[in-house]
Amino acid sequence: MTAPENTQNPQNAENNTDFAIEGHGDISVGVKGAGASGDGSASATRITPGNALRPEDIALEVRKGQVKPNEDVAEYALRLGDDGLILAQRLGHWISRAPELEEDVALGNIALDQLGHARSFLTYAGAAWDKSEDDLAYFRREHEFRSAHLFEQPNGDFAVTIARQFIVSYYQFELYKRLTGSSDQTIAAIAAKALKEVDYHRDHSAQWVLRLDGGTEESRRRIVRAFKLVWPYVEELFEDDELTARLAETGAGVQPSSLRADFDQLTGEILAEGGLDEELALERIPQSLGGGRQGKHSEHLGYLLAEMQVLAREHPGASW
């Protein structure tokens, strides 16, 4: 058990329940006691409460000298922020190109949520080095980014985007759930806000995995292909290293490997619904070496950053 010792850790509460399906939150179609487990009035478009933590609030606290992460926490926040930022950049491309207008809205929402988390984490990380969120987003080079490879994988077709999102959402949910008990107050606060949003992302992607799996032959073929494309990047998400070991020790972070069992169980239940798990034989899919946390990236990130950073770099020092 490497999660921080904390009596309020919701993971403990989770373990006390007898209902495994509870762990999915609210999945609105398909699986077993569908919808019965979550908040029936849950809506992806629910307005965020006015008192929700905003990146601007963190920036203000930083300016007032009220919060400042130590070097380890800053590095950790940088990783989490980069994951969200790179994924938001990918998802943002879908807006105006989705299969249905409802999906333009949904994918846009998920992108916005991810960007919001990224802005908070990067603002906080930057406080350690006297850098703003924009300094970090726009003026670092490829090898300075700390995102895992999964996040930079191209959108592909809708199935690839959904398969990637499904993995990300289940991973982030387990991560943020534990981080709400972080000994670092700011990390805990960002995670608490993110957790609610990522829960909707799980619902959205699980619904689509079920639909594409159980829809037409074509959709089944595409979702199988999609999972084969993105699954090689799963292992990297759960790799521990010296930084995460130190943070788990202080209770500020968690060892990624500690999330794996719950991730496997919950994703496994969805993938087993239509027999996707057997067809995919996930355990036999070779896992990529990763390296994103050390700044070693695939060929994709360079293009993504070139597009994202071009305008800001044309006008260094400008305010927007």
**Residues found near other proteins in the complex (CB under 8 A):** 29-30, 55, 85, 88-89, 92-93, 95-105, 108-109, 111-112, 115-116, 118-119, 122, 133-134, 137-138, 157-158, 210-212, 214-216, 218-219, 222, 307-308, 310-312, 315, 318-320
Shortest reach from residue 46's CB to other proteins, in Å: 14
Nearer to other proteins, 189 or 210 (CB): 210
Complex with other proteins: residue 86 or 179, whichever CB lies closer: 86
Displacement of CA 247 from its chain's centroid (Å): 19
Q: How far is the CB of 220 from other proteins (least distance, A)?
A: 8
Residue closer to other proteins (CB basis): 121 or 173 = 121
For other proteins, the closer of residues 7 and 319 by Cβ is 319
Residues making up the chain, counted from first to last: 320
Cα 319 to Cα 59, 135, 204, 311, 315: the distances in Å are 16, 12, 36, 12, 9
Alpha-carbon distance of 237 to 292, in angstroms, equals 10
Q: Which is nearer to other proteins, 10 or 215 (CB)?
A: 215
Q: By C-beta, is 141 or 221 nearer to other proteins?
A: 221
Give me the least distance between CB of 86 and other proteins, in Å please: 12
CA of 211: how far to CAs of 2, 26, 35, 109, in Å? 36, 16, 15, 20
Helix-strand-coil percent breakdown of the chain, rounded to 5? 65, 0, 35
Shortest reach from residue 237's CB to other proteins, in Å: 23
The rounded distance, in Å, linking the Cα atoms of 47 and 272 is 34
The residues, ordered by sequence, that sit 6+ positions from 195 with a Cβ below 8 Å of its Cβ are 173, 176, 177, 180
Radius of gyration (C-alpha) of the chain in whole angstroms: 19
For the bound state, the minimum distance from the C-beta of residue 131 to other proteins, rounded and expressed in Å, comes to 13
**Closest distance to other proteins from the beta carbon of 239 (Å):** 27
User: What is the closest distance, in whole angstroms, from the C-beta atom of residue 199 to other proteins in the complex?
Assistant: 20
Query: Which is closer to other proteins, CB of 40 or CB of 316?
Result: 316
- Cα–Cα dist 282/233, whole Å: 12
At closest approach, how far in Å is the CB of 255 from other proteins?
A: 29
Contact at 8 Å (CB) between 229 and 167? no
Sign of CA dihedral 305, 80, 298, 246: positive
Nearer to other proteins, 137 or 270 (CB): 137
Output DSSP code: residue 195.
Answer: H
**Token pair of 124, please?**
């906080």
Cα(first)–Cα(last) distance of the chain, in Å? Answer: 46
